Amino acid sequence: MYTGKNILVGQSGGPTAVINASLAGVLSAARQAGIGKIYGMRYGLQGLLEGKIIDLEPLTSEKNLLLLQKTPAAYLGSCRVKLPKIEDKAEVYEALFAFLMERDIGAVFYIGGNDSMDAARKLSAYAARVSSPIRFIGVPKTIDNDMACTDHTPGFGSAARYIACVTREVVQDALVYDQKRITIMEIMGRDAGWLTGAAALAWGANHIGPDFIYLPETPLDLDEFCERAVERQRTRRSLVIAVSEGVRATSGHYVCEATAMNPDYQDAFGHRDISGTARALCELLALRCGCKARAVEVNVLQRCAAHYTAATDVREAFAVGEAAVRAAMAGHTGVMPAFERIGSDPYACRIVLRNLGDIANAVRHVPLEWIKPGGAGLTDEFLQYVRPLADMENDEEGLPALP
Amino acid sequence: MYTGKNILVGQSGGPTAVINASLAGVLSAARQAGIGKIYGMRYGLQGLLEGKIIDLEPLTSEKNLLLLQKTPAAYLGSCRVKLPKIEDKAEVYEALFAFLMERDIGAVFYIGGNDSMDAARKLSAYAARVSSPIRFIGVPKTIDNDMACTDHTPGFGSAARYIACVTREVVQDALVYDQKRITIMEIMGRDAGWLTGAAALAWGANHIGPDFIYLPETPLDLDEFCERAVERQRTRRSLVIAVSEGVRATSGHYVCEATAMNPDYQDAFGHRDISGTARALCELLALRCGCKARAVEVNVLQRCAAHYTAATDVREAFAVGEAAVRAAMAGHTGVMPAFERIGSDPYACRIVLRNLGDIANAVRHVPLEWIKPGGAGLTDEFLQYVRPLADMENDEEGLPALP
């Protein structure tokens, strides 16, 4: 059915440590299926709109597929472009489809997060409207893990493993001096606190971990926040606090708004620049606690740490790429391979197809009942959910803290 | 000769990923030598002055010595205390020596950087003055690698390996969007640029790496800095620049002074708070280049990344701990085991003893002839020097950059 047809694959949104493993999965399955040419978009839809596609044949060698799985960030390049509504600017879609037909493209695979799934949804909706046979399949990725209709997203497990590891290291570092001090770690997550919650994994056999964890799901009362820190410092002199970059005060404003370098900046999707949360909270606590306060912005390091991935995550990222190709071969369009969890002990997931219309623009939050009040951490349910994704079922033994 | 004598070991200054391996080396050699009790200082000299010492017997089991080598930060706790001059406050020394004699301490091992070696030097000088038989041996550690009389310091190799790795990952991340943008990485190093220079190791088989590298050894002309960035952006839209936190403008001021949260803060050694260098440069370049500029402060992560150490570094950190004990057993005092390089290809170093008086308070800079002008990177001599320390003789092959 696909004989003679070509395919096109692109990446979109923020990179992850394993997004290239999904690309490798698409390439591997396509090569095995005997598909014609395999094209890649340079810089996602933005590049496609400018006609920037390249032949990916050289990437499909055994050696390059292996290298690709170890390479962080989006190898094809990415973008943050929002497609217009079809009824507002049909000519954009007409031009795109003409371009795809000219190159005999039978299926398009778009690897990305919520905004990217919305783009894939719009394209498949336009295909239905004009009765185009071109199939559009989404491939999930986001370290934020905030996608609807799936147990989790590729990219999250590795980022969670990395956050657990560096949180433990930062806590060890913070305990070194016999001094009052505050360390605030800023972790990515605009609306959902899945990744910041992974800081709770730092608590292990050696009984050290972050003192407080604050997610965007619950508003932050700044007075209570300070009081809790002052109270805790009576028994623990050096505190470590993990916060999502997207934490909001009870006023509804982002905590970082007072100190943001570009408070008015918005990207194509209307997202604000929300860095500086830890720094703002440090300024507050340094005054209230009367001690040095240090912000540790984990920054892009948490989404590109290919040197410390979760093997489960790499394998699953590859698998959704393969599943996307199989879905297109089976005649599906407007869908995304997603994970359905069968069990956590032992961990098992199966891949199912979900409709892009149910996924696009939805945000999946950490359930409120998994968040302990007052920044006291995450529940066992959360930890059981995230541990197998981060390859942390069997946590290493560590040295006990000294008296 | 040491029969019945006890020893005391402490850690001082900023932590590293392998400082505990040196502690393990001291413990292992002391146990083998049949030394009496092994005491540890809690929080270095500060703890010792307050009488806080603990019995380290439980740490000397086979299992705990192995765990200790994998644990980042200073397990015993550290401090930043400056001992007074003997002639100014002899009573401090009298009390300390009385405390040591009471516990029948025959030798004291102090693991630290330049300031710590100065403390060990003062203590051994006092011992000579009062004809005390107590021996004082320094054990080198610092990620800064700025210690005199040694080829390199334990802690540097692992930090350099980590910087090479994250720089490569950050560059991959920065190349993802088809946009003008600037990323400035801030790397530790107040006076010496060894660790920032390690960012040059990111350049490997896949031909991506940082565009500019600026060390504290050469003053930064801010106008030229901006002009070079504007010029480079004509051909490369997304620039990555690595800077030492301690870079100074041609005026002699730290670049960060304009934006420092605590510009007047000084620690016991008169060191200023110099974070914020990358942020200050980002503000400058965002205006001059007319694009988004992002600061990535690698921060404490670079000194506590036990998950990504160099095996050579761990081995050598352990070896200087052992050598320190052997030196004390042989009757030495006022010395530090140091590295003398025999060759780089293949890499080989031998351990030699150096006098603390020649080490304390000196700073070893990157030779100016190893620094290419205008932030253009480091020479092959520098790379040959640092590669074996970071376990990077055989660099992995990577995917070539796309057209």
The tens digit of pLDDT for each residue in B345-377 reads 899 999 999 999 999 889 999 999 999 999 999
The Cα-based distances of A152 to A111, A185, B105 in angstroms read 15, 24, 57
CB-CB under 8 Å, B178 with A79 = yes
Rounded CA Rg of chain A: 22
Q: Average pLDDT for residues B287-291, to the nearest whole number?
A: 92
ipTM attached to this prediction: 0.94
pLDDT band at A361 (very low <50, low <70, confident <90, very high): confident
Residue A4 has pLDDT above 60, yes or no: no
Return the SS3 of A132: coil
B303 vs A: CB within 8 A: yes
Q: Which residues contact A336 (CB under 8 A, 6 or more apart)?
A: A117, A120, A137, A138, A139, A140, A149, A150, A324, A353, A354, A355, A356, A359
Taking the C-alpha atoms of residue B49 and residue B120, their distance in angstroms, rounded to an integer, is 14
Per residue in B136-172, pLDDT (tens digit) is 999 999 999 999 999 999 999 999 999 999 999 999 9
Please provide residue A144's backbone torsions phi and psi, each rounded to the nearest 5 degrees.
-75, -25
Do B402 and A76 count as a contact with CB atoms less than 8 A apart?
yes
Nearest CA in chain A to B40: A402
Local confidence band at B1 (pLDDT 50, 70, 90 cut-offs): very low
pLDDT greater than 50 at residue A1: no
**Cβ–Cβ gap A399/B169 under 8 Å:** no
Question: In angstroms, rounded to a whole number, what is the distance separating the alpha carbons of residues A307 and B74?
Answer: 24
Q: Do B297 and A301 touch (CB under 8 A)?
A: no
The yes-or-no verdict on residue A260 having pLDDT over 60 is no
Select from B394, B317, B392, B395 the least CA-distant residue to B349: B317
- Which residue of chain B is at minimal alpha-carbon distance from A50? B178
**In the structure, what pLDDT confidence band is assigned to residue B72 with cuts at 50, 70 and 90?**
confident
Mean of pLDDT values over B234-251? 95
DSSP symbol at B83:
P
Local confidence band at B206 (pLDDT 50, 70, 90 cut-offs): confident
| pLDDT of res. B401 | 74
Q: Calculate how close chain A gets to B278, using CA atoms only, in Å.
A: 13
Distance CA B186, CA B274 (A): 11
Angle in degrees, CA B246, B252, B258, rounded to 5: 65
Which residues in chain A (115-154) have CB-CB distances under 8 A to chain B? none
- Adjacent-strand bridge partners of A183: A240, A294
- Chain B, residues 183-202, CB within 8 A of chain A, namely 183
Please write the tens of the pLDDT for every residue from A234-244.
Answer: 999 999 999 99
Interface test with A, best of B79, B171, B172 (most A CBs within 10 A): B172
Peptide bond into A346 cis (omega under 30): yes
Residue A366: helix, strand or coil by DSSP? coil
* Contact present, B183 and B294 (Cβ < 8 Å): yes
Whether A267 is catalytic: no
pLDDT score of B270: 65
Catalytic annotation, pick one of A115, A118, A144, A146? A144
Which range has the worst mean pLDDT, A212-226, B146-160, B272-286, B382-396?
A: B272-286
Which residues numbered 9-28 in A keep a CB inside 8 Å of some CB on B? 15
Pull the structure tokens for residue B214. 């600026």
- Say if A159 is an interface residue toward chain B (CB within 8 Å): no
Question: What's the pLDDT score for residue B13?
Answer: 94
B167 touches A: beta carbon within 8 Å: no
Distance, in Å, from the CA atom of B121 to the CA atom of A40, rounded to the nearest integer, reads 63
